Chains A and B, each alone.
Chain A
Amino acid sequence: KAGVTQTPRYLIKTRGQQVTLSCSPISGHRSVSWYQQTPGQGLQFLFEYFSETQRNKGNFPGRFSGRQFSNSRSEMNVSTLELGDSALYLCASRLGHLTSGANVLTFGAGSRLTVL
């Protein structure tokens, strides 16, 4: 059973550009969430999607956006990149929207974004 797949794994952008990151959840998983990991701030929640609807959003500026498609694949977009956006962006999927002991989050390996 394939895990959570994130593409691209590594990318370099310059300030002012925009970037789109992709996440394919585990087959059958309908809930996808995104996290940003930086050395200074650690892991921070960006947003969560379930059945193509954004269910929760973290405290990030509007430059950060996302969406989920009918096949549960998700993309996140960051516009007008800043140096501080350099981070590991992690996607996680879950079978359903609610938590249970068996319904744990499975994380992908991440997309490492470097902004120059």
Chain B
Amino acid sequence: KQEVTQIPAALSVPEGENLVLNCSFTDSAIYNLQWFRQDPGKGLTSLLLIQSSQREQTSGRLNASLDKSSGRSTLYIAASQPGDSATYLCAVSINNAGNMLTFGGGTRLMVKP
């Protein structure tokens, strides 16, 4: 059974810092990995999707990497801003019917002004 773990569970940093969020998964036979952002009381916003054949994806100040063989992904946020405060979730898909995602528990990020 696929299990996804995110470390740390919570993180508080001052504005401007670069930070790394970690995601690990137990079964390397994934089809893709996604990072999402969730604001309090809201739904999820997809940030980045990495196919299993890819090593990384970038969008603005966000960069996600994937090491499938070791079962790890990292989300790098450059020059953090208070507006980045949210819960970040990673999720893996085991087949190309990518709606059936297994999620990690999330990292709750607070960026202080």
Q: Which residues of A contact B32 (CB under 8 A)?
A: 99
The stretch of A64-72, A77-85, A89-97 in contact with B is A89-97
Binary interface encoding of chain A residues 98-116 relative to chain B, with 1 for a CB under 8 A from any of its CBs, else 0: 1101011111111010000
Select one of B36, B91, B98, B100 contacting A58, CB under 8 A: B100
Q: Which residues of A contact B105 (CB under 8 A)?
A: 42
B interface residues with partner A (beta carbon < 8 Å): 31-32, 34, 36, 41-46, 49, 51, 89, 91, 93, 96-106
A104 contacts B43, C-beta separation under 8 Å: no
A33 contacts B100, C-beta separation under 8 Å: yes
CA distance A97 to B96 in the complex (A): 8
Select one of A31, A43, A108 contacting B99, CB under 8 A: A31
Could you name 13 residue pairs across A and B whose Cβ atoms are closer than 8 Å? A33-B99, A42-B104, A48-B100, A90-B44, A94-B99, A97-B99, A99-B32, A99-B49, A99-B98, A103-B98, A104-B49, A107-B46, A109-B43
Categorize the interface residue count of chain A. Answer: 20 to 34
A106 contacts B46, C-beta separation under 8 Å: yes
CA distance A36 to B113 in the complex (A): 33
CA distance A101 to B102 in the complex (A): 18
CA distance A48 to B100 in the complex (A): 7
A99 contacts B45, C-beta separation under 8 Å: no
CA distance A44 to B43 in the complex (A): 14
Distance to closest chain B CB from A74 (angstroms):
12
